[in-house]
Structure formats: structure tokens, C-alpha cells
Amino acid sequence: MGIVTVVTGATRGLGRGIAREFASKGATVVVTGRNEADLAQVAGEIEQRGGTPITIACDHSDDESVASAFARIKAEAGGIDILVNNAAAVHAMDLIAPGPFWEKPLHLVDMIDVGLRSNYVAAWHAAPVMAAAGKGLIASISFYGAVSYFHGAAYGAAKAGTDKMMADMAVDLAPHGVAAISYWPGFILTDAVRAMPLEMLPPDMREALPNWETPEFTGRVLHALYSAPDLMSLSGQALIGAELGQRLGVKDTDGKQPISYREAMGAPHMPFTPVSGEQA
């Protein structure tokens, strides 16, 4: 089967591109999502690129639905090499609307449930499978909003929490040869963005588009990271995808080297690593 990669929330956007890229590497790609028609389309794209698709309808706000999904993954795929936690509840128009958090709909807090919490639940199911195999990678999608103001309090809490959660999971997983990281992509040239006529985009966005990453770039970087000899030395860290790509010699599908926004939007916090015997 090759590498078995699970990508949650992969029916659109970043997750869909990650799934396509792993398919091009000959992986078995498990994708979750709520819409059966969208899952069927993703399965077709995975097959076209040489991968083996397993599509699972799953509501990541429902723990029983997630448990059922991972039971099926173990039965059909036989194991999990890489888990990419990408599922998120994003109410896009409310998220980007101007105004303080209390003037926006309360449902924006869903990002903490389907995002931060759902990452924990998926990792809880995947970790024992990986630990038993003695190798694995859990990568949760985060962003610069973990350290700088970006779309407000709910978004920032979800991303900052993801970074700390992965750092702590890495401590527990280290003795079992499993790595856990938080991954910061750049701005993503999704299928939806690519489909928009340029004249409909704001001028500043049109100017920035050449620097935006394809969603496949994240898949390329994560695939290279899994195979990297120093994978475990990076476990527990929040990693900027553009910088990690440069370190691993990975470029985007159009040949460009994506840029880091470290100077403009902030840098990941380095986790404290306790010395032997210092963990309580």
C-alpha cells in the first residue's frame, strides 16, 4: 500500500491538495469529510494521481463518528503512517468581518471544537496505532495567528492551542518513535481562489498571489519530512512550511520556493524541553 496517510477535512482547500500530493507519491490516502459527493470527487483525483483512496464520511464534531472512522481505517488500511489534522470549522465570512469578537456570531468558537479539540481526538485514535508500529508522524495545521493577531480571539486560541498540544504530544510519543509537529503553511492558492476571476480580487491580493503556495506544497513538505533522517529532532516544534521546505529541498509545483512570513507575522515559540526526571 505504500505510505498510509490520513488527511482530515480533505474535501476542499488545503486538505484536498495535500491528499492529491500524497497520491502522486503512490500513497494510500484516507480522506474524511462530511459531503459524500465531495469525497467521491477527491477519490477520483487521488486515483488519477496514482494513489489508492479510502474515503470516509465523518463529522469531526462527533466523537463517535471519529471513532468509527478510525476503526475503519485500521480495518481497511492496516495502519497509519501519517496523520494530517486539517479539519476545521471555519465560518469564513463572519471570521473576516470587521469588529471585535463580541460583535461577531458566537459560532466562531466552533474553531476550538473542530480544529483544536478534533485534532486531539484524531491523534488519540491514531497514536496507539503508530506507537505499536514504532514510527509515525502527526502533523496538525496551524498558522501565524498562533502568535499574532489574525482573525480574532477564537482563531488565535485554536492555533496557539494546537501548537502547545503538539509539543506536549511529542513528549509522550518520543519513546515510541512517533513525531508530532504543528505546521504553519503560508497563504494558500486553493482551487476556489484559482477559480476566481482576477478582476474580482482586491488589488493587494492580486499583487500577492504569485507568492501564495499551492496546497500541494504542504503535501510535498510533509512527505519529505516523514522520510527525513532528522524527523524526531523536529518533533514537538511548530514549523513554518516555507522554511521547512527550504531545509528539505522541496519546491512548489511551479518551481518557486515559497516565502516565510516570520518577519511580518511572527515566529513560532520554542517549546521547553525538560531534562531527565524533570517531568511531573
* CA dihedral over 91, 94, 95, 101, signed as positive or negative: negative
Phi–psi pair at 86, nearest 5 degrees:
-120, -15
Catalytic residues: 155
Neighbours of 257 (CB within 10 A): 13
Instruction: Say if residue 4 is exposed, middle or buried (CB neighbours under 10 Å; 0-12, 13-18, 19+).
Output: buried
Specify whether the CB–CB gap between 23 and 17 falls below 8 A. Answer: no
Q: Count other C-beta atoms under 10 Å from residue 110's C-beta.
A: 18
**Phi and psi at residue 141, in whole multiples of 5°?**
-75, 125
